[in-house]
Amino acid sequence: MILHLIASWWINDNQNKNYDYARIYANIMVFNDESVNLNNWIKERTNYVICKMDDYWDSSNRENLVYVCSWDVLRDEQDLNNYDYNSRQVFWVSKNVVVEINVYSGRKLTNEEVSKIAQKRVNDFLNDLKNNEREYVGGKNFDISYLAKSFISKSLKNCSSDITRPVIEGTNETCNPSWECKTEPVICPEYGYQTKTCIDYGCNQDKKEEKIYCSPGLCSGCYVPRWIKSNENICMPYGARFEQQTGNIINKLVERSEDTTLSQNDNDYSIQISSANEAVFTIYGKGSGTNYTYTLTPGADIEIKIPDWEERIETVTLHVNKIVYSSETDANNYVDVTINIKGYDNVNEKTPMYCGYDGTVYQQKTKDGNGDWAKCQNNFECESNVCSGGECIDVAGAIKESGKFKILFFGIYCRLTNLFNGKGYENCISELK
């Protein structure tokens, strides 16, 4: 059992106001078990964030160690153009108590400050191009305002810290975390993300990695949004075909399958297994109060028809894979089934697109406004992926109208479009029949 105590304060320092806003958020967790070992909690808490240790000395000259953690280091969240944002998490433990203090602050930068930061980033970028070495993480990456430090110091007087310095694995030597990080590659690549790696040379902790999404610095193709309304892109090579979300939600008929077992009665159904060859499955109708009963046998396909089900559900089919039965008391009897549901669902509309040689994304072609086959120069311009004689060939339509050569065309077309995909070949044959 854990007792949570939560409080927050806005910091107001009229004499030394170097931020637009600042806030302290305190979360105190008291564990019911006073003998609880919180070492695992500390390890988990620092596993995905960069932390260093800071010390506060009380009036009796006792050292109180706390962890100061910053997500800004690993995730580059502090790079916010003309706004300086800081987020720090400070925590310590005392017997069965965890004290976690979050400090947030931010301010708008002046034009002069923005210019200096921009110049520094250019210099850093040029230096990284020469030799992308790891950089020491310290100082400003873990800074906390004077008032926040004062708040932490006073809190430690009422609840001192039991944290001790970590020990290097395999030795009795204590250590302090000391981090160095670098981002690779320096220029955002065509696939649209960089990897930031941080290594602790002080205590030899496991290295930490974070994927940072970005827009490619160089692109031999087309810039395509990674997500709808996203500021980040990926690079599609010339001639690439892909589906792009339009941002519209459409009601589409979809089909889903799920394997499950029927073994115990619940509020929605009951199952009575009499032998390895037969079981009685009853579904309780919620709206009408009518029950629907089906006899299940191995290999059977049962179509479930219940009038008071959702209108969005088109069909529900139950395929009985096998029935496991034993007459012994407390035997684990069950029916293994596959449920196939066909119904309407809200999905993101997608449009077939391609990357043209001019670096522009275009919608793939089928027919023009007159119903004639659209003009083309390359296969990837066509939704059918077949451009012949300067026109996008509607292969599926042509095959369906091909008369006596229909079966032959089926095999040729489906094999060419699914060279290494047997399942795709079978689906293609099925769709075109």
Same domain? 336 vs 407: no
Q: Which positions ≥6 away from 297 have C-beta within 8 Å? A: 277, 278, 320, 323
For residue 361, being part of any structural domain is answered with: no
Same domain? 39 vs 129: yes
Under 8 Å between Cβ of 177 and 52: yes
Collapsing DSSP to helix, strand or coil, 35 comes out as coil
Tell me the pTM: 0.60
Any idea which of 137-151, 181-195, 353-367, 384-398 has the lowest mean pLDDT? 384-398
pLDDT band at 423 (very low <50, low <70, confident <90, very high): low
Q: What is the pLDDT of residues 274-301, one digit of tens each?
A: 899 999 998 887 666 788 889 999 999 9
Written as six digits, the tokens of 121 are 């980033």
Rg (CA), the chain: 32
Written as six digits, the tokens of 286 are 């919620």
CA distance 274 to 300: 16
For residue 57, being part of any structural domain is answered with: yes
Same domain? 52 vs 119: yes
Any idea which of 38-47, 116-125, 126-135 has the lowest mean pLDDT? 116-125
Of 174, 206, 221, the one marking the end of a domain is 174
CA distance 59 to 69: 26
Of 347, 380, 412, the one marking the end of a domain is 347
CA distance 150 to 160: 14
Same domain? 393 vs 338: no
Same domain? 340 vs 411: no
Residue 94 is which amino acid? S
For residue 340, being part of any structural domain is answered with: yes
Instruction: Please report the pLDDT score of residue 269 as a whole number.
Output: 84
Any idea which of 79-93, 140-154, 262-276 has the lowest mean pLDDT? 79-93
pLDDT band at 356 (very low <50, low <70, confident <90, very high): very high
Any idea which of 112-116, 145-149, 179-183 has the lowest mean pLDDT? 112-116
pLDDT band at 204 (very low <50, low <70, confident <90, very high): confident
For residue 89, being part of any structural domain is answered with: yes
The residue that leads in pLDDT, 285 or 325, is: 325
Same domain? 282 vs 168: no
CA distance 68 to 432: 63
Instruction: Please report the pLDDT score of residue 414 as a whole number.
Output: 63
Q: What is the pLDDT of residues 225-263, one digit of tens each?
A: 887 666 788 899 999 998 887 777 888 888 888 898 888
- Mean pLDDT, to the nearest integer, of 341-361? 87
Written as six digits, the tokens of 253 are 């008929």
Same domain? 392 vs 425: yes
Q: Among the ranges 38-42, 43-47, 49-53, which has the highest mean pLDDT value? A: 49-53
Same domain? 310 vs 385: no
Count of structural domains, the chain = 3
Residue 123 is which amino acid? N
Provide the CATH number for the domain around residue 54: 3.40.1000
133: domain range?
2-174
Local structure of residue 377 (DSSP, 8 states): S
Please, how many CA atoms are within 13 Å of residue 417, restricted to the half-sphere of its CB? 20
Same domain? 168 vs 310: no
For residue 297, being part of any structural domain is answered with: yes
For residue 72, being part of any structural domain is answered with: yes
DSSP 206-248: PPEEEEEE---SS-SEEEEESSTT-S-EEEEETT-EEEEEEEE
- Asked whether the CA dihedral 186, 190, 193, 197 is positive or negative, the reply is negative
Instruction: Please report the pLDDT score of residue 80 as a whole number.
Output: 46
- Mean pLDDT, to the nearest integer, of 38-46? 86
Q: Among the ranges 106-110, 147-151, 352-356, 393-397, which has the highest mean pLDDT value? A: 352-356
For residue 195, being part of any structural domain is answered with: no
Written as six digits, the tokens of 260 are 């499950």
Burial class (CB in 10 A: 0-12, 13-18, 19+), 406: middle
Same domain? 112 vs 261: no
For residue 403, being part of any structural domain is answered with: yes
Mean pLDDT of the chain: 81
Written as six digits, the tokens of 208 are 């930490």
Any idea which of 160-164, 313-317, 362-366 has the lowest mean pLDDT? 313-317
Same domain? 92 vs 170: yes
The residue that leads in pLDDT, 161 or 113, is: 161
- Mean pLDDT, to the nearest integer, of 171-185? 90
In the chain, DSSP finds a helix count (H) and a strand count (E) of: 7, 22
pLDDT band at 54 (very low <50, low <70, confident <90, very high): very high
With CA atoms as reference, report the closest residue to 71 among 230, 233, 200, 198.
198
Same domain? 68 vs 147: yes
Of 315, 347, 379, the one marking the end of a domain is 347
Under 8 Å between Cβ of 89 and 185: no
Local structure of residue 38 (DSSP, 8 states): -
CA distances from 75 to 78, 138, 220, 267, 352 (A): 8, 15, 27, 47, 34
